[in-house]
Amino acid sequence: NAGVTQTPKFQVLKTGQSMTLQCAQDMNHNSMYWYRQDPGMGLRLIYYSASEGTTDKGEVPNGYNVSRLNKREFSLRLESAAPSQTSVYFCASSTSQGNYGYTFGSGTRLTVV
């Protein structure tokens, strides 16, 4: 099925550990995004990639890095996880102008202990 695939779905990390969240889309979209969602809050943009080869910071980039590996894949890396990064992470993709809305993955639920 066409869409956005995120792995893993669940992860528990110890403080200070690192990990990479993977995201891949097969809709030939140019733009990709990483958001985090915390209880009682909407989604906050961490990083985005307007097109292959470009990445930019969003609203809450501290503690994260990203890689746009190719047009399909956009990964999010936590170098040294902190409890404040406990959240649900969503990857999304869209056309360059977003005129048809975003397509979201099913999310990664991350707990940092």
Partner 1 sequence: SQQGEEDPQALSIQEGENATMNCSYKTSINNLQWYRQNSGRGLVHLILIRSNEREKHSGRLRVTLDTSKKSSSLLITASRAADTASYFCATDAWTSGSRLTFGEGTQLTVNP
| Binding-site ranges for partner 1 (CB under 8 A) | 4, 31, 33, 35, 40-45, 48, 50, 58-59, 90, 92, 94-107
Q: How many C-beta atoms lie closer than 10 Å to residue 107's C-beta?
A: 18
Task: Show the beta-strand stretches assigned E in 1-113.
Answer: 4-7, 10-13, 19-25, 31-37, 43-49, 56-57, 64-68, 74-78, 87-94, 103-104, 108-112
Report helix, strand or coil for 84.
helix
Using the minimum distance from each CB to partner 1, give the nearer residue, 92 or 112. Answer: 92
Minimum Å gap between C-beta 2 and partner 1 is 14
- Give dist(CA 45, CA 43) in Å, integer: 7
Using the minimum distance from each CB to partner 1, give the nearer residue, 87 or 94. Answer: 94
Minimum Å gap between C-beta 103 and partner 1 is 7
Minimum Å gap between C-beta 60 and partner 1 is 11
CA 61 to chain centre: 11
Minimum Å gap between C-beta 3 and partner 1 is 9
Using the minimum distance from each CB to partner 1, give the nearer residue, 14 or 101. Answer: 101
